[in-house]
Amino acid sequence: MKKYVVAIVGATGAVGTQMLACLEEQQFPVGALKLLASPRSAGKVVSTPWGEVTVETAAPEAFDGVDIVLGAAEDDVAKALYPEAVRRGAVVVDNSHAFRLDEDVPLVIPEINAADALQHKGIIANPNCATIIGLVPTWPLHQLAGVKRMIVSTYQAASGAGVPGMRELEEQIGCMGRGEEIPAPAAFAAQLASNLIPQIGGEKYQGFTSEEMKMQNEGRKIMHLPDLRVNCTCVRVPVLRSHSESVTLEFERDITLEQAREALASAPGVKLVDDLAAESAHDRWPMPLDTTDQDLIWVGRVRRDISNPDALRGITFWCCGDQIRKGAATNAVQIAKLLCE
Amino acid sequence: MKKYVVAIVGATGAVGTQMLACLEEQQFPVGALKLLASPRSAGKVVSTPWGEVTVETAAPEAFDGVDIVLGAAEDDVAKALYPEAVRRGAVVVDNSHAFRLDEDVPLVIPEINAADALQHKGIIANPNCATIIGLVPTWPLHQLAGVKRMIVSTYQAASGAGVPGMRELEEQIGCMGRGEEIPAPAAFAAQLASNLIPQIGGEKYQGFTSEEMKMQNEGRKIMHLPDLRVNCTCVRVPVLRSHSESVTLEFERDITLEQAREALASAPGVKLVDDLAAESAHDRWPMPLDTTDQDLIWVGRVRRDISNPDALRGITFWCCGDQIRKGAATNAVQIAKLLCE
């Protein structure tokens, strides 16, 4: 079996670290591994399943001889470096927002549009975390009845702001627990512990934020639905690393609740947890604590949208997924695996 | 000015304690005050603006001579006791769910249907907290354009489960802060700290919970809109005492964003906080920490519902309000004041 030289960019961050773990878990055929990061992290030695690896500065020449790049860096780094990696013959799976809506760049959730990945011209984009977590369970329902409208309210974890976001929330909880004053926030615009912050990303379109518009704009591209309409409200909640979403869908065609449940129960990447009568709370509905550090999107509270005047064309559900894994690293490694098949 | 003999039932709970404070703040003409509770709390002495009051057991004869009862007890206590209070000549403003949908019982949010209160036959019901917080800002928009459909996702605080709920969340945060193991949950079905619990109330109708159906059933009664359609998803979040809601409305008639903003800015009980460009996060949007321990419903993120195919008939917003105050005690004392006017 062919083995690949793999480089992770942003290797020391929350997503980069998880990408490394996912390579092993998904038994990716790694021949050699390069860990790239900012000069601040260069020189650090990381113990990996492929031996001890010294972190190098992410620079164009670092991509010489690399087959596959997993990008977990910010937009500006992505824009500066990945075309250089492609020029040197690498294929880049990029988790940043830099190239997601570029016409030449496939935007891929393997459970939905794996074939798109093979049309790449060197760069494949990994979608936004909230988009992945919302679309994985929407897709099997769309295949049944054609989704035309989504109304989504998110409950997004601190990990969306990386390690600094998680540390800030943990520090604030620590202060509350010890009865100490909470320091001024830095990773977030306001205190997150025991609070909610109803803005993620800057203002983008008609009062919607960049994060909110991703669900529509990335969703249209991934599902090949140029007319999909999405109203999304993104809210940061004091949860460590699983995003949750309350999703209401409107369909072109009728869909029964039984059809919806069956489709979700058998959909790849989805775990249906939907039994209000279950003895244990963990079997009743998805919760962020239960979906942390695993790869499936858990879906529950599946029911008719009783507000939809078209009684058979609305479905509402609740879903949770690990933001660092399926929302980022797992999906990226899944895409990379498509390239090896 | 006439003064009233007022009794608070459930006087030692979170809502009852707040009712006592609200009586003073709203300068309610209290002639004498009775504090009633379960036998467990009887005998306790509470210092009030009207002198020291010894808590008495809530029993029928305790209502002799009482003009106005503020009820902050559970449904079963309400059903057993309030008809006895009415028989003795009192008017009861009840915060429980027991009588809310009874035909003979007005269900009142003073900003919306104050006149209904005067049609009472002894009992007036105070709506559910999430209903109040969602409807206060919906009402001025309804007056402009006729609301016909609401899609709501809630972010509900621990205080909805009373003092035990708040204590449990605080204890869990304390354990996390000190690095201790979190004890098994009791007030909630699962750990709430750093988690979300997507069920409030028991299963009621087609997979919706009792809490979720209140927004529709109470909303129809309060706004006199028997055909209003509501799809509500209620979620408990690790926040102490302010509920937040992501609300999407569909209207019968066109409504411009400017009309909506103006109506919200001037609506009684509402504070519009909606400026993504504001220097301080506290001026950008409502957050539960900022809306705690005050009486207004703060509204922000007001924007068009870009998913609505009728471009001028959808509005989306975010609102927060103190669950114990306007969600319960403040609203009840406001109703009681209507009776004095």
Closest C-alpha to A227, from A295, A149, A285: A149
Spatial distance between the Cα atoms of B151 and B314, rounded to a whole number of angstroms: 11
Interval B68-93 mean pLDDT: 98
Which among A149, A276, A287 has the least Cβ separation from residue B203? A276
CA A205/CA A210 separation, integer angstroms: 8
Contact status, residue A19 vs residue A333, Cβ threshold 8 Å: yes
In this predicted model, what pLDDT tens digit does every residue of B175-198 receive, in sequence order?
Answer: 999 999 999 999 999 999 999 999
Element (H, E) at A314: strand A314-322
Which is the catalytic residue, given B97, B243, B319, B320? B243
* Annotated binding-site ranges of B for phosphate: 100
Give the side-chain half-sphere CA count within 13 A for B109.
32
Instruction: Give the strand pairing for B147-155 and B123-125.
Output: unpaired
In a mutational test of the A interface, the residue from B149, B176, B235 whose CB has the highest number of chain A CBs within 10 Å is B235
Identity of the residue in B173, B198, B203 whose CB atom sits nearest the CB atom of A318: B198
Give the nearest chain A residue to B189 (CA atoms).
Answer: A281
Q: What is the residue-averaged pLDDT of chain B? A: 97
- The domains of chain A, with CATH numbers, are 4-127+329-340 (3.40.50.720), 131-323 (3.30.360.10)
Alpha helices of chain A — where are they, by DSSP H? 14-25, 75-87, 110-117, 129-145, 162-178, 210-223, 257-266, 288-291, 330-340
Query: Which of A307, A315, A319 should we substitute to test contact with B (largest number of B Cβ atoms within 10 Å)?
Result: A307
Q: In whole angstroms, what is the distance from residue A208 CA to residue B25 CA?
A: 38
Judge whether residue B120 has pLDDT over 90: yes
Residue in chain B closest to A286 (alpha carbons) equals: B198
Contact A302 B207 (CB under 8 A): yes
Q: pLDDT over 90 for what percent of chain B? A: 99
Contact across the interface for A314 and B195, Cβ inside 8 Å: no
Which of A150, A153, A156, A85 has its CA nearest to residue A123?
A85
- Which sign does the torsion angle of CA A224, A227, A228, A234 carry? positive
Which amino acid, residue A259? Q
Write the CA distances from A123 to A55, A68, A92, A130, A132, integer angstroms. 23, 10, 5, 21, 18
Which tokens belong to A119? 């049309």
| Residue of B166, B209, B233 to mutate, interface with A, max A Cβ within 10 Å | B233
CA distance A242 to chain B (A): 9
Instruction: Kindly determine whether residue B308 and residue A229, on different chains, have CB atoms separated by under 8 Å.
Output: yes
Å between A259 CA and nearest CA of chain B: 16
Does A12 appear as a known binding residue?
yes
How far does B2 lie from chain A, in Å, by closest CA? 43
In sequence order, the β-bridge partners of residue A88 are none
Q: Do A306 and B281 touch (CB under 8 A)?
A: no
Write out residues in chain A with pLDDT < 70, as ranges. Answer: none
Phi/psi-derived region of residue B293, left when phi > 0, alpha when psi is between -120 and 50, beta in every other case: left
* CA closest to B171 among chain A residues: A177
How many Cβ pairs closer than 8 A exist between chain A and B? 201
The pLDDT of residue B341 is 81
Mean pLDDT, chain A, whole residue set: 97
Please, are residues A11 and A77 in contact by the beta-carbon 8 Å criterion? Answer: no
Q: Which of A194, A205, A314 sits opposite B239 (nearest CB)?
A: A194
- Interaxial angle between packed helices B14-25 and B330-340, expressed in degrees from 0 to 180 and rounded to the nearest 10: 50
**Is the separation of the CB atoms in B289 and B242 below 8 Å?**
yes
pLDDT of residue A112: 98
Residue of A nearest to B235 (CA): A246
Residues of B in contact with A178 (CB under 8 A): 177-178
ipTM of model over 0.90: yes
Check residue B142 and give its pLDDT: 98
C-beta atoms of B208 and A238 within 8 A: no
Residue of B nearest to A240 (CA): B194
Q: What is the mean predicted confidence (pLDDT) over B206-223?
A: 98
pLDDT at res. A1: 81
Closest CA to B132 of B103, B152, B105: B152
Which of B191, B238, B281 is facing A189, going by the closest CB pair?
B281
CB contact under 8 A, A176 and B175: no
Q: Distance, in angstroms, between B85 CA and closest chain A CA?
A: 37
- Determine the pLDDT at residue A207: 97
**Active-site residue identified among B129, B232, B234, B320:** B129
Residues B284-337 pLDDT 10s:
999 999 999 999 999 999 999 999 999 999 999 999 999 999 999 999 999 999
Smallest CA-to-CA distance from A62 within A41, A99, A90 is with A90
A72 to each of A14, A18, A78, A100, how far by Cα in Å? 9, 10, 9, 14
- pLDDT value at position B111? 98
Q: What angle do CA A302, A306, A312 make, to 5 degrees?
A: 80
DSSP A179: T
Which residues on adjacent β-strands are paired with residue B47? B52
